[in-house]
A and B are shown apart, each in its own frame.
Chain A
Amino acid sequence: MSANSRKRIAVFWASSCGGCDISLLEIGPRLLDVAAAADIVFWPCATDFKYHDVEKLPDGSIDVCLFNGGVRNSEQHEVALLLRRKSRVLVAYGACAADGGIPALANLVSRRAILDAVYHANLSTDNPAATEPRPLCAAPAGELHLPEFYGQVYRLCDVVDVDHVLPGCPPQAERVWETLKALLDGQAPEAGADGRVGCSPRTVCDECPREKKLVRVEAFRRHHEFRPEPGWCLLEQGLLCMGPATRGGCGALCIRADMRCEGCYGPPAGVADQGASMIGALSGVLDPASEEKAYALVSQIPDPAGTFYRFSLPSGLLKARRQDGGNP
């Protein structure tokens, strides 16, 4: 990494948990290399720069912007547009920016239902005046503005063009370092055919050390019910492991710790819908003799959409629940 021309880096969190910011620290002592090569011009989690500091920068003057989180409200949307304008390379960093992530599961309920739950219906809510946040309201001190709460959670690429997509919840440190190092050296990070970086085009199963015994699943089980047998495919043991429908790159970290894959790296290359892909994969391990048995087996799966699309709802084909009519 050449230190003679200092780079400018920005990091931003939108609709996310903050884990992506922490995952940057996981690259460890190599942070010193980053500090030697680059100035951090914006990082709300770690530094005290404000939006107006970013606005003062010339357009295209940020060399690399790592944007984590999806877009849930108008403030995040505005900052996405601002950072797009100021950045030469904009990276959708982490599952939420790449595929919507866990916050995008809110796309399975309506905006109205979310406001009702949070401001009125929750047992711990004490709101006798039935106050709700409004984008604009008059106060003695003048007009007060709040960001508008959108009807859906969007991926970063729904609102601005992105240069690279680095998936994962959070992205793994080695993959982060490889990508960041390439970008700071002014090179394009190694990408698959679909433009995603820091991951494999193949599935988690490809990296999984466990082996299949080619037996059929008779019943689904959950983690608190048993201890998985070492070395044997978790899906065949009845755990709903998302490995067959999930992009690799993590090195099957969770599976090595006896936990099923939850699907955080999103769909593998060539798959348009992670949930549909998982439903397809399940039929390979279930082989019911009758239709009744099939219904009994699949009805054991709690919250199918929330399980199959845990990290990738807006990246799928249907993207969000319809807001009118339909089943309750």
Chain B
Amino acid sequence: MERRREDRQDGGSGWEPRIIGFLCQWCSYTGADNAGTARIQYPPNVDVIKVMCSGRVDPELVLAALARGADGVLVLGCHPGDCHYISGNHKTMVRMPLVRSVLRDFGIEEGRFRHDWVSAAEGEKFARVVAEMTEEVRRLGPLRWPQRLQESGFRTCAAPAPCGEAVR
């Protein structure tokens, strides 16, 4: 694991895709558990963040992950109709297509962002989605957004207010 994290940083031949996965705790996180207990093999490239509901994944989290160095973002939630909170994933259904269209305008390939539905029983589907996405992001290569921002000379503090040293 440590070796892999080092490899990620050099951006060269040892590069491995780094994908941030937001998983709802009721279905998809349990689905990932299911894949683990069933000993299904899948790539270790998704860093999983457990959230209460996929409807809780603010689009800002997706953009922040990419802006801070992720090569891809995966959002997994309960199937429509199965939401623990009844309509939480309806919010995901509206947000994620919009996030996708905004990412397209920034020149970020569609394959770097995926949202899908994984139930608690779908360990195999979880492993398949992770494997597919890892391969797709590996094919696309490193995104390097923090380096892009730095090379372009943008100041990257959170608020455009009085702060710190100018970059340019």
Decide yes or no whether A152 CB sits under 8 A from chain B: yes
Decide yes or no whether A67 CB sits under 8 A from chain B: no
Residues of B within 8 A of A323 (CB): 107
Decide yes or no whether A295 CB sits under 8 A from chain B: yes
Q: Taking A283-B91, A290-B80, A297-B94 as contacts, is the C-beta distance between A305 and B105 under 8 angstroms? A: yes
B152 and A152 contacting across the interface, CB-CB below 8 Å: yes
Q: In the complex, what distance in Å separates the CA atom of A92 from the CA atom of B91? A: 36
A298 and B159 contacting across the interface, CB-CB below 8 Å: no
Of the candidate stretches B17-25, B27-35, B96-104, B127-135, the one touching chain A is B96-104
Q: In the complex, what distance in Å separates the CA atom of A98 from the CA atom of B161? A: 8
Decide yes or no whether B6 CB sits under 8 A from chain A: no
Of the residues A99, A272, A294, A304, contact of B64 by C-beta under 8 Å? A272
Distance from A258 Cβ to chain B, minimum over Cβ atoms (Å): 25
Decide yes or no whether B1 CB sits under 8 A from chain A: no
Of the residues B62, B63, B93, B148, contact of A322 by C-beta under 8 Å? B148
B166 and A160 contacting across the interface, CB-CB below 8 Å: yes
Which chain A residue has the least Cβ–Cβ distance from B89? A291
Which chain A residue has the least Cβ–Cβ distance from B96? A294
A161 and B59 contacting across the interface, CB-CB below 8 Å: no
B161 and A194 contacting across the interface, CB-CB below 8 Å: yes
Decide yes or no whether A276 CB sits under 8 A from chain B: yes
Distance from B81 Cβ to chain A, minimum over Cβ atoms (Å): 9
Q: Taking A154-B153, A195-B161 as contacts, is the C-beta distance between A298 and B90 under 8 angstroms? A: no
Residues of B within 8 A of A163 (CB): 162
Of the residues B90, B104, B163, contact of A288 by C-beta under 8 Å? B90
Secondary structure type dominating chain B contacts: helix
Decide yes or no whether B47 CB sits under 8 A from chain A: no
Distance from A78 Cβ to chain B, minimum over Cβ atoms (Å): 12
B160 and A315 contacting across the interface, CB-CB below 8 Å: yes
A158 and B97 contacting across the interface, CB-CB below 8 Å: no
Residues of A within 8 A of B101 (CB): 298, 301, 304-305
- Contact digits for A266-289, partner B, Cβ 8 Å, 1 yes 0 no: 100001110111011011101110
Residues of B within 8 A of A155 (CB): 155, 160
Decide yes or no whether B121 CB sits under 8 A from chain A: no
Of the residues B67, B93, B106, B161, contact of A108 by C-beta under 8 Å? B106
- Contact digits for A146-166, partner B, Cβ 8 Å, 1 yes 0 no: 000001101101111111110
Of the residues A277, A290, A321, contact of B107 by C-beta under 8 Å? A321
Residues of A within 8 A of B97 (CB): 294-295, 298-299
B160 and A273 contacting across the interface, CB-CB below 8 Å: no
A161 and B63 contacting across the interface, CB-CB below 8 Å: no
Residues of A within 8 A of B152 (CB): 151-152, 319-320
B60 and A277 contacting across the interface, CB-CB below 8 Å: yes
Decide yes or no whether A196 CB sits under 8 A from chain B: yes
Q: In the complex, what distance in Å separates the CA atom of A29 from the CA atom of B105? A: 45
Q: Taking A287-B87, A318-B106, A319-B154 as contacts, is the C-beta distance between A98 and B160 under 8 angstroms? A: yes
Which chain A residue has the least Cβ–Cβ distance from B157? A157
A157 and B60 contacting across the interface, CB-CB below 8 Å: no
Decide yes or no whether A13 CB sits under 8 A from chain B: no
A287 and B90 contacting across the interface, CB-CB below 8 Å: yes
Decide yes or no whether B168 CB sits under 8 A from chain A: yes
A158 and B162 contacting across the interface, CB-CB below 8 Å: no
**In this complex, which of B94, B101, B158 has the most chain A Cβ atoms within 10 angstroms of its Cβ?**
B94
Residues of B within 8 A of A306 (CB): 105
Residues of A within 8 A of B67 (CB): 317-318
Decide yes or no whether B66 CB sits under 8 A from chain A: yes
Write 11 A-B pairs (CB below 8 A) sorted by A numbering.
A158-B154, A159-B153, A163-B162, A280-B58, A283-B55, A284-B91, A298-B94, A301-B101, A319-B152, A322-B148, A326-B108
The 4 closest A-B pairs by CB, nearest first: A326-B107, A195-B161, A305-B105, A283-B91
* Apart from A195-B162, A272-B158, A287-B87, 10 more pairs, CB < 8 Å: A273-B60, A276-B99, A277-B59, A279-B95, A282-B94, A294-B97, A298-B101, A304-B105, A322-B148, A327-B110
